[in-house]
Homo-oligomer: A and B are copies of this chain.
Amino acid sequence: MAFVNQNQILQSLIAEQLVSDPASARGRLLKEAARLFRDKGYERTTVRDLAAAVGIQSGSLFHHFRTKEEILKAVMVETIRLNTALMQAAADSEESPRGKLRALVRSELESINGQTGEAMAVLVYEWRSLSESSQVQVLELREIYEGLWLSVLEELNELGQLKADPFIVRRMLTGALSWTVTWYKPERGGLTLDGLTDQVMAMLGL
C-alpha cells in the first residue's frame, strides 16, 4: 500500500462526503461544538453558546441541524470516520506486529492530544448524552475501529509477545490512552508524543 499523509486522508474523506470540510460552515460549527462539549460538557453547552461560537443566532443553528443532539452525533460520527482511516493508514505503514501496535498507540495518542483531541474526548466522555438510537449507529462505526486494534493484538498474542489477553489489553489501553487527555500537556514538560508512546510500549513489555 502506498504511503499517504494525514492531510491526504482527510481530503479524500471530504471528497466522499464522509466528513465535513473544516472550512465549510458545517465543519466550523462541528469543530467549535467539539471544543465546547469537551470544555463544558454537552449538557452545560447551550445552543446559544454553539451559535455564538460561529457568529450566528441560536435559532439559525436549526437550519443546519434538526436538534442539538444531532450536532453531538455528527461530531462523534465524523471523528470516528476520520480516525478509523488514520489508524488504518498508520497500521498499514508498518510491517511487524509490534510496529503496527506502536503505530496504533501513537496514532490514537495523536488523535486524543492533537487536532481532533476535542472531538475524541467528546466521543469518550459524552457517550451517555446520546440517545439510544444514536448510540447504536455510532457503535457500529466504533466496532470497525476496534477491529483494527484487535487484529493487531491477536497477531502479537499468537507470537507470544503479549502478556495478557488481547481483548483485555485493548480495553485497558482504551481507558489509559483516553485518560491522557486529562493530564498530558506536551508543551510544558519534556515528554513528547513519541516519548509517551515509548512509555506505553515499555509498560506492556514491548
State A198–B3 Cα separation when bound (angstroms).
40
Taking CB atoms, residues of chain B closer than 8 Å to A173 are 176
Taking CB atoms, residues of chain B closer than 8 Å to A177 are 175
A200 at the interface (CB under 8 A from B): yes
Cβ contact of A205, chosen from B39, B43, B168, B205, cutoff 8 A? B205
How many residues of A are counted as interface, with CB atoms below 8 angstroms from the partner's CB atoms?
Answer: 31
Chain A contacts with B in 165-201, Cβ cutoff 8 A: 165, 168-169, 171-180, 183, 196, 199-200
Taking CB atoms, residues of chain B closer than 8 Å to A39 are 128
Residues of A contacting B: mostly: helix
A44 at the interface (CB under 8 A from B): yes
CB distance from A50 to the nearest CB of B (A): 16
Contact A205 B163 (CB under 8 A): yes
Cβ contact of A41, chosen from B128, B180, B205, cutoff 8 A? B128
Contact A168 B199 (CB under 8 A): yes
Taking CB atoms, residues of chain B closer than 8 Å to A178 are 175, 179
State A168–B200 Cα separation when bound (angstroms).
9
A159 at the interface (CB under 8 A from B): no
Chain A contacts with B in 116-135, Cβ cutoff 8 A: 125, 128-129
Chain A interface residues (CB < 8 Å from chain B): 39-41, 43-44, 125, 128-129, 163-165, 168-169, 171-180, 183, 196, 199-200, 202-205
Other A-B contacts than A43-B44, A125-B125, A171-B179, 7 sampled, CB-CB below 8 A, are A40-B128, A41-B43, A44-B128, A163-B205, A171-B176, A175-B179, A176-B176
Q: Which 5 A-B pairs have the closest CB atoms?
A: A175-B179, A43-B43, A172-B176, A175-B175, A175-B176
